[in-house]
Amino acid sequence: MSAVTSGPRFSHVDDATAMRASLSLLLPDLTFVSSHGSVEDLLTAMPEADVVILDLHLANTGQPDASQGTTAIRRIVEAGYRVCVYSQEERRFVLAACLAAGATGVVSKAASLAEAEAAFRAVAADEPVIPPDITGLIEVLVRRRSITVLTPRQREVLAHRARGLTYAEMSRSMYLSESTLRGYWMELAQLVSQYLRETSPGDIEHALGLRPGDLLDLWPGRGSTSC
């Protein structure tokens, strides 16, 4: 009989062989059920995983037509998996487009292993993971009244998070427990993710004062296959 796996199961998609071989060794407390060099390989195998940890940039000389970017995210989400983007990408509009494409979380490869593991576990629990650069972008959209559904308390939490404050620092300044603040952030993150998935790039461009078409090639469903 095969052993019963408890806890969330992860699959890893990265075109770098060294990354695929090392991540499970670096995070031994996570259960990895498979690793793949491309989304196409993942979707052929259809492993029994709860979360796919996905690099954004997968096309290379060996697989020039591999799906990547928001196209890759959408294909994996449509197959029934949660996606956590794990990438060196730092452009905030690209990262926002990942959430718009359906990714539950985004974490930088520059993050510590502890931070990465926490993010992967959060995504497995269906908790959105939003990087600081996107938090700052969302705060601008809130100030310009493009996002109007937030409560005053959620706006305050967003402003503090956008400035990089920890839950402990926020707790001291807002006189609320860290668990309460995490609850506010969770509700806020879910609203932000929904907003990005439902709002057109044109509306976001208008709210941010960008030129029409600046986000067109980045946003999912607009003909772009890469980030």
Q: What is the pLDDT of residues 76-129, one digit of tens each?
A: 999 999 999 999 999 999 999 999 999 999 999 999 999 999 999 999 999 999
What pLDDT does residue 217 have?
Answer: 81
Contacts of 146 (CB under 8 A, 6+ apart): 199, 203, 204, 207
Instruction: Provide, rounded to the nearest whole percent, the portion of the chain with pLDDT above 90.
Output: 62
Instruction: Provide, rounded to the nearest whole percent, the portion of the chain with pLDDT above 70.
Output: 95
Residue 172: how many CA atoms within 13 Å on its side-chain side?
4
Mean pLDDT, all residues of the chain: 90
Helix (H, G, I), strand (E, B) or coil at 140: helix
What pLDDT does residue 1 have?
Answer: 38
| Cα–Cα dist 142/150, whole Å | 8
Cα 124 → chain centroid: 12
Q: Model pTM greater than 0.85?
A: yes
Q: Is the pLDDT of residue 42 over 60?
A: yes
Top pLDDT among 30 and 145 is at 30
- The number of beta carbons lying within 10 Å of the beta carbon of residue 100 is 26
Top pLDDT among 116 and 216 is at 116
CA angle 196, 102, 85 (to 5 degrees): 105
Contacts of 23 (CB under 8 A, 6+ apart): 12, 14, 32, 35, 53
